[in-house]
Structure 1
Amino acid sequence: MNPRNPGNPDDETRYIGPTSGGSGSSGDQGRPRQYFPGEHDPNFRYDPAYDSAHEQPYEEPYAPSSAAPAPAKKSGGALPMLLGILFGLTLLAAIAFFFLWRGAAAEADREPPAPVTVTSTVERTVTTTEEAPALPTQIPTEIPSDIVPSDLPEIDIEGWLNELTGGAPEPAP
């Protein structure tokens, strides 16, 4: 609700969709437009006391007109700062070398350690390799008679396989 004009419901800020044509430039045609209360209302009353209560009086900033700006003081520059940093780093290095020197001097004053004798046993395994006999160039097709003992019974391997498989194989068509 608008406190200035509570009876008019059209006096509220509201969204109006994109407008076509109008007084805007060609880039404003599809853009939304905001509606301000009282913009097209002939009964709208503007109260100037409302705006004047929030205004602050304008004061000119102080600027001396006759005095020229005072020259800025220059600091010592970068050279003293650089020398101070180098002095600090040198001091830190001197302290580090002092402690390293003290540690080395204390270690040099100690007696050398007694000699230590270490005995170890090593087992060694020696493997000898013999030359393998030459392989035969021809493979025999029958078992030699001097290798096979003569008292072995003769076995019918084909018949034994037929019994295991359930009969003689059928001839191929």
Structure 2
Amino acid sequence: MDRPATGLTFRDATDADVDALVALIESAYRGDSSRTGWTTEADILEGQRTDPQGVLEVIKAPRSRLLTVEQDGRIVACCQLEDRTDHAYFGMFAVSPAMQGAGLGKVVMAEAERLARETWGATEMQMAVISVRDDLIAWYERRGYRRTGRMKPFPYGDERYGIPQRTDLRFEVLVKPLV
């Protein structure tokens, strides 16, 4: 496996980043471009993963930040962090398919966890992952997250989150202590 990319810059997203962030997130999860990486959801969901309004809402939300990672002036990864008082929430995680498998995701997660601890005093990180994504859940488990068995419904009928290609989709909550 390659070493993680060097020369990375971490910063909070701005309104000017919205189009680039939407393109990154879509490329990591939807359509043929996502198949070059391992995080694709193209076989279980069609349509969009997010849209400019959804990304802008995360950027503008109070107690939230969209951590953006650049290399050579190009956005290569991002993740949402949200202070939910009793825990931090991690979402909207995307790594450019061309850079997946080289350790960048691990670097981004470690920085997100550090920021949640140091900025908000978070002692736990939570996320919701589509429960049929066994490979992705296993990746998170190797990073210290554990399955809770708590499920949340998938928003069937709301095409802002994609068009499901199967009827058994739901989200499982994963947690990790940050102390």
* TM-score > 0.5 by shorter chain: no
Please identify which structure carries the higher helix content. Answer: 2
The structure whose residues are more often strand, as a share, is 2
- The structure with higher relative contact order (CA 8 Å, sep 6+) is 2
When normalised by structure 1's length, the TM-score is 0.19
